[in-house]
Amino acid sequence: MKHTFFGKLFLPLIFLAEMIFVACSVDNIVYVQDFEDGASNSILNPKKITLQYDDKISVYVKSKDPQLTDLFNIMETTRTSSSIKRFYTVDSEGNIDFPVLGTVKVGGYTREEVAEIIKKKLKESDLLKDPVVIVEYENLHIYMLGELAKTGLQTIDRSSVTILEAISMAGDLTINGNRENVTVLRNEGNEQKVYTVNLNSGYDLLKSPVYYLKQNDIVYVQPNQMRQRQSTVNGNTLYSIGFWTSVVTLPLTIATMIISLTK
């Protein structure tokens, strides 16, 4: 009778422990869980990407006079292609050397602003009356590291990128990613600043200065505690999930054997 009672008591305890573990795990993987359905949440200081030193851009000029526009659309020829776009690299002063116009200040401006600057200069110089200027980013990237489905470089081809969009491009966090402690490293002048983002809290996320990412940002998703324990299994058996599973199930196995033998 005692063995039967022990067996009946032990099984619910194991089941309860598993349920608590699963519930805690689910809570930790839900994004922006403090947002309510239908709520309106304001984003502080929406930011577009601005050009900085060593960025590369392509500039394409169009107008009704194709002969004139060819002066501003420099193309390179190779053995495999006769029309390759030439990129402009932003120098340390934030300038590019544009055909006919010469030095054009682009550092600190968005690509839309750069297009307007070049368009205005073309009109003011009486070179083109009706120019259409298109500016595209060519080498802008974000570095994605850690517990993600796809790590490595993510190309920026839009005017703004949020951290959630970057994570989406990287295939989302793995189940072992720590959503409460995502690190973003950002170069600001001669310093590299460290920011921490909590993806579980939508309100904290929207207020974060790294909600909108910049080129060359490094996003590192730290492993959660379970992943850390798994990675140290060879170094310390006490951290092994298999070890603790054996410890928990051993009394149950013994109890089941005793109950079977006493029947």
Q: What is the pLDDT along the chain (263 residues), one digit of tens a residue?
A: 545 544 454 454 444 444 444 444 444 677 767 666 766 766 666 789 999 999 999 999 999 888 888 888 877 655 555 556 678 999 999 999 999 999 999 999 999 999 999 999 999 998 898 899 999 999 999 999 999 999 999 999 999 999 999 999 999 999 999 999 999 999 988 899 999 999 998 888 888 999 999 999 999 999 987 766 666 555 455 455 555 565 556 566 666 666 665 66
Domain shared by 175 and 117, yes or no:
no
Question: Domain boundary residue among 137, 156, 174?
Answer: 137
Q: Tell me, what's the pLDDT at 47? A: 86
- Of residues 1, 7, 2, the one with CA closest to residue 254: 7
- Of residues 170, 99, 93, 85, the one with CA closest to residue 136: 85
- The C-alpha atoms of residue 247 and residue 227 are separated, in whole angstroms, by 20
Q: Tell me, what's the pLDDT at 194? A: 97
CATH code of the domain containing 205: 3.10.560.10
- The C-alpha atoms of residue 2 and residue 5 are separated, in whole angstroms, by 5
How far from the centroid of its chain's Cα atoms is residue 199's Cα?
12
Angle at 184 between CA 39 and CA 189, to 5 degrees: 120
Domain shared by 111 and 72, yes or no:
yes
Question: Domain boundary residue among 92, 116, 137?
Answer: 137
Domain shared by 100 and 151, yes or no:
no
Q: Tell me, what's the pLDDT at 93? A: 96
Q: Tell me, what's the pLDDT at 251? A: 63
Domain that holds residue 158: 30-47+140-223
Q: Tell me, what's the pLDDT at 69? A: 86
Domain shared by 39 and 159, yes or no:
yes
Eight-state DSSP code of residue 43: P
- The C-alpha atoms of residue 218 and residue 210 are separated, in whole angstroms, by 11
- Of residues 122, 120, 143, the one with CA closest to residue 73: 122
Q: Tell me, what's the pLDDT at 20? A: 46
Q: Tell me, what's the pLDDT at 84? A: 62
The tokens for 55 are 């960025």
Domain shared by 152 and 219, yes or no:
yes
Written as one letter, the residue type at 53 is: Y
Beta bridge partners of 57: 88, 137
Domain shared by 67 and 131, yes or no:
yes
Domain shared by 42 and 77, yes or no:
no
Q: Tell me, what's the pLDDT at 159? A: 92
Domain shared by 217 and 144, yes or no:
yes
Which class for 96: exposed (0-12), middle (13-18), buried (19 or more C-beta within 10 A)?
Answer: buried
Question: Domain boundary residue among 137, 161, 185?
Answer: 137
Domain shared by 156 and 131, yes or no:
no
Contact 244, 17 (CB under 8 A): no
Domain count, the chain: 3
The residue count of the chain comes to 263
Domain shared by 124 and 237, yes or no:
no
Contact 222, 178 (CB under 8 A): yes
Eight-state DSSP code of residue 86: P
Q: Tell me, what's the pLDDT at 23? A: 43
- The C-alpha atoms of residue 122 and residue 110 are separated, in whole angstroms, by 19
Q: Tell me, what's the pLDDT at 19? A: 46
